[in-house]
């Protein structure tokens, strides 16, 4: 079965630095890979989606890469701010009548 | 602000109670989902409705009973729950039917505590 790993449970970085979160998967490459932000006690909020034939996607201070050879996606937040502190979830979107598979998430803390 | 509305935000119930969680979306989405999330864990899929029909049931115990009265509403009926069922219950919707997911729009969740 498909497995997904976000290999840092928690990540602390200094304000202004770039945060890089990693998402690795096994077996088949998903058609899409999605990233969500979740604040404590609230529902996840969609951030970015990247297709298997795209190498990079950007949105404001966010950048996502997708390497199907390495079976890995990287999620970057540049010029990080304390307000970026949250849990970030990646999710495999296999299409083909299967629901999203969520990773366990990485809890990011940006320290002022 | 989320466009998926869940009520109630908090619910405390005893093991013999019957209660319901409600979810509503007016984005014209054709798929609706129930997820269960425990602390520091990812959301865990319970049910998917696609075009108002139950399309996925992830082997959820029968004490959880979903209902989709129409394309905008999704309910989760709760009966004879156990303390370990205490969790954040999330509703979500997506534009396409399940299997053609696209992004999920989540509600704020209903925090359930079973005593």
Measured CA to CA, the distance from residue A99 to residue A93 in angstroms comes to: 7
> Among residues B23, B20, B19, which one has the least CA distance to residue B6?
B23
**pLDDT digit string, tens, across residues A5-39:** 887 789 999 999 999 999 999 877 788 899 999 99
Structure tokens given for B19: 């209660």
pLDDT at A96: 66
Element (H, E) at A38: strand A32-38
Backbone dihedral region for residue B40 (phi beyond 0: left; psi -120 to 50: alpha; all else: beta): left
Q: What b-and-e string marks burial along B80-102, b requiring 16 or more CB atoms within 10 Å of the CB?
A: ebeeebbbbbbbbbbeebbbbbb
**Is A30's Cβ below 8 Å from some Cβ in B?**
no
Which of A52, A21, A25 lies closest to A37, judged by CA? A21
Tell me, yes or no, if B45 comes closer than 8 A to chain A by beta carbon.
Answer: yes
Q: Which helix (H) or strand (E) holds B11?
A: strand B10-13
- The answer, for A43 touching chain B at a CB cutoff of 8 Å, is yes
Q: Which residues of A touch B111 (CB under 8 A)?
A: 41
Task: Tell me the nearest-neighbour CA distance from B107 into chain A, angstroms.
Answer: 6
- Distances in whole angstroms, Cα of residue A82 to Cα of each of A58, A79, B83: 20, 10, 35
Chain A nearest-CA distance from B92, in A, is 9
Q: What is the DSSP string of B64-112?
A: EEEEEEETTEEEEEEES--GGG-EEEEEEEESSPTTS----EE---EEE
Confidence of residue B57 (pLDDT cuts 50, 70, 90): confident
* For residues B43-52, average pLDDT: 93
Which residue among A45, A100, A105 places its CB closest to the CB of B101?
Answer: A100
Q: Is the previous residue joined to B8 through a cis bond, with omega within 30 degrees of 0?
A: yes
The residue among B36, B38, B19 whose CA lies nearest residue B80 is B19
Encode pLDDT of B68-111 as tens digits: 999 999 999 999 999 999 999 999 999 876 555 678 999 999 99
For B110, counting Cβ atoms within 10 Å of its Cβ (0-12 exposed, 13-18 middle, 19+ buried), the class is: buried
């Amino acid at each position: 079965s498909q497995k997904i790993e976000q290999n840092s449970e928690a990540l602390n970085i200094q304000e202004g630095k770039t945060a890089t979160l990693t998402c690795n998967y096994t077996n088949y490459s998903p058609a899409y890979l999605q990233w969500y932000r979740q604040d404590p006690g609230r529902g996840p909020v969609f951030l970015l989606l990247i297709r298997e034939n795209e190498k990079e996607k950007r949105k404001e201070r966010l950048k996502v890469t997708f390497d199907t050879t390495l079976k890995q996606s990287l999620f970057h937040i540049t010029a990080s701010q304390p307000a970026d502190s949250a849990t970030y979830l990646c999710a495999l979107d296999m299409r083909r009548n299967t629901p999203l598979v969520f990773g366990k998430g990485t809890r990011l803390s940006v320290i002022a | 602000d989320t466009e998926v509305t869940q009520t109630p935000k908090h619910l405390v119930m005893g093991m013999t109670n019957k209660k319901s969680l409600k979810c509503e979306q007016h984005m014209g989405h054709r798929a609706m989902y129930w997820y269960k999330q425990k602390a520091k864990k990812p959301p865990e899929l319970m049910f998917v409705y696609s075009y108002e029909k139950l399309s996925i049931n992830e082997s959820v115990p029968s004490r959880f009973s979903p209902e989709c009265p129409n394309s905008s509403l999704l309910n989760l009926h709760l009966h004879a729950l156990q303390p370990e069922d205490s969790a954040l219950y999330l509703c979500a919707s997506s534009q396409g039917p399940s299997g053609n997911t696209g992004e999920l729009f989540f509600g704020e969740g209903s925090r359930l505590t079973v005593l």
